[in-house]
Structure 1
């Protein structure tokens, strides 16, 4: 079972320390969340910096809100990061649900799913070296990985799960084991129905905080603020895993569900968690 780290968003300058510690440890991936109307670093920019400070770990968006962005520029940014990192970019994509993000981006919340499908068609074409069309030629550079960086889709609705088979390489299940199992089964079924060979890569996510009480308290506060818009922030915070035993148990449960990787998402700012979580892993 591969294990990655979701990095906290509260202090962008501290992320270099987190990334270097993760790169020296047993972790396979580092990831960042995405929002527009929030005090978080823009993930593609931040991950480009972190890719330059590391040599081994993959850099992942978890998830990038693609409908907020213009597809040709997004394709160019992703291909550039993938090329310059030696193929280490994993592009986790979702539609998001915050109306204020769409207001700031000038996009329509109600059509975000249809917009994403159109974006994916454009990006796949550009990553293959084909012209943009309508008087515009190819948009380079080509990504390191032929056809584009690895695409994971996050989400819970049928349309989101169907995109895994239609456009993607795998599924990002940001759900507890009790809920993730049904989502993973659906993704595998849709994959087979689409006639895809092999299997989708399954990446799961769980929120963790490991350390003294002040570290756990910091994580709970940050989680509550981030998920306040859902109206279920307290429930999310209650699911935070705070002991080595809980974290090991969750990793085992996700392994039993057939996950290829579990992302331990850290909301607390203390980078010492990287070393403590390395001991757990």
Structure 2
């Protein structure tokens, strides 16, 4: 099972230090959250810079709020990043739940699921090199990975889980081990019902902070601010893993559930967490 690292969003300039340390360590992937009406770096731009500063580790949106974006341009951006990173880009997608993010882009939040389905059909066509439409030719460049970058979907509702089998390559399961198993089973069942070969890649996520108390306190504060729009901010903060034993235990439980990769997501800015987590993972 692979171990990835989620990057904190509060200090964009520091992310290159995080990325270089992770690239030199045992981590498989660097992930980055997405929001619009929030003080976070735009993930496609940021991961392009991160990809240029690294040589081995993959870069992944976790998750990119696709309905906020125009599909032809998003397809081109994703293909470009995939091509220029040598196939190291993973496009994690979701619909988002913030009303203000949708208001800022003029998108009706009630249509976000249908919009994502339409976007995926367009992007798959663009990545295959087909004409965009009757009066519009193909849109390049061709991605490094035939058919487009690896696409993972996050979500909890039935339509979101079914979308993995319809359009994706895997599932971003951002839930604790106690109830992620049912989500994974649903995704695998839909995969088989759609006649897909093999099995979906399963990527799980755990929020972590490892270090002195001030590092943990900062991570809790940042995480609470990020999830303040929900009614679950306290629950999310309470679930943060802050000891080596907790991280080992939860990682092992995800492995028992069949996860292919676990993303250890950091909200505190201290880059020494990369080294601490590398020692733990190694």
TM-score (norm 1): 1.00
Separation in 1, partners of 2:134, 2:78? 22
Alignment of 1:129-148 (within 5 A): 129-148=129-148
Separation in 2, partners of 1:212, 1:157? 37
TM-fit CA distance, 1:114: 0.3
Alignment of 1:1-281 (within 5 A): 1-281=1-281
Deviation sequence 1:66-114 (CA, Å, 0-9, x none): 0000000000000000000000000000000000000001111000000
SS in 1 for 2:62: strand
Deviation sequence 1:160-201 (CA, Å, 0-9, x none): 000000000000000000011000010010000111010000
Deviation sequence 1:115-140 (CA, Å, 0-9, x none): 00000000000000001003111110
Deviation sequence 1:133-157 (CA, Å, 0-9, x none): 0311111001000000000000000
SS in 1 for 2:110: helix
TM-fit CA distance, 1:213: 0.2
Separation in 2, partners of 1:134, 1:74? 20
Separation in 2, partners of 1:24, 1:107? 41
Separation in 2, partners of 1:233, 1:170? 27
Separation in 1, partners of 2:168, 2:235? 30
Over the residues paired in the alignment, what is the CA RMSD in angstroms?
Answer: 0.4
SS in 1 for 2:153: strand
TM-fit CA distance, 1:232: 1.1
Gaps in structure 2 of 5+ consecutive residues: none
Structure 1 runs, 4 residues or longer, greater than 4 Å off: none
Q: Give the count of matched residue pairs.
A: 281
SS in 2 for 1:4: strand
Separation in 2, partners of 1:136, 1:105? 25
Deviation sequence 1:205-241 (CA, Å, 0-9, x none): 0000000000000000000000000111001000000
Separation in 1, partners of 2:157, 2:237? 23
Separation in 2, partners of 1:107, 1:136? 24
TM-score (norm 2): 0.99
TM-fit CA distance, 1:11: 0.4
